[in-house]
Chains A and B, each alone.
Chain A
Amino acid sequence: QKEVEQDPGPLSVPEGAIVSLNCTYSNSAFQYFMWYRQYSRKGPELLMYTYSSGNKEDGRFTAQVDKSSKYISLFIRDSQPSDSATYLCAMVLRTGNQFYFGTGTSLTVIP
């Protein structure tokens, strides 16, 4: 079983839709959870960072962590064509500095 599971998609939505991206994980020791956005042929850039359980909001983006279910989500409200990218979830142990990545979900927002 992989440490982190992420549905690769592809996911295609109309502009203005609410997008939900999800990852599950197996190691209950993960403490820090991140979402990265990667445009084609570019390096990933950090979108959201959360510690432990709960929600965090930044503009149109909301990151949610449910440690009891070992499940994290990224919600994108009012999606825009510029949101079209691959979204990678990542997580790290409390004492570690090695990141565990999901395989990424490819998102296309259609104008």
Chain B
Amino acid sequence: DGGITQSPKYLFRKEGQNVTLSCEQNLNHDAMYWYRQDPGQGLRLIYYSQIVNDFQKGDIAEGYSVSREKKESFPLTVTSAQKNPTAFYLCASYTWDGANYGYTFGSGTRLTVV
């Protein structure tokens, strides 16, 4: 089955540590996204990538970094510069051919600072 795989499901980070969240898709979608979800704030866009080796900042990119070396993979690094990283992180992919689209989410990674 095609889909998006996020790992790990739960992640704990110590103060001052960088951590990387994995996102892999086998849908052959071009565009991929990272969102952060906090209670009462909905989904906020961190970074997105429309093609390999290119990515753009979203609304809350500070303290995060990404790479897009392969079409299938879009890992997110939460750096020590992100002061409040505890949240639920969602990866999504998207394709649009002018008539139909697909926007699929992964199952999420819950990051907690300890």
Contact = CB atoms under 8 A, between A and B. Distances in A.
Interface of A: 6, 8, 32, 34, 36, 41-46, 88, 90, 97-99, 101-104
B40 A44 contact: no
Nearest to A46: B103
Contacts of A90: 103
Contact of A97 (B4, B6, B31, B43): B31
Contact of A43 (B40, B42, B105): B105
B108 interface: yes
Interface residues of B, number: 23
A20 B110 CA distance: 30
13 contacts: A41-B88, A41-B110, A42-B107, A42-B108, A43-B90, A43-B105, A43-B107, A44-B105, A46-B104, A98-B45, A98-B48, A99-B103, A101-B43
B12 interface: no
Given A97-B101, A104-B42, 16 more contacts: A6-B42, A41-B88, A41-B110, A42-B108, A43-B6, A43-B105, A43-B108, A44-B90, A88-B42, A97-B31, A97-B50, A99-B94, A99-B103, A101-B42, A102-B42, A103-B41
Contacts of A102: 42
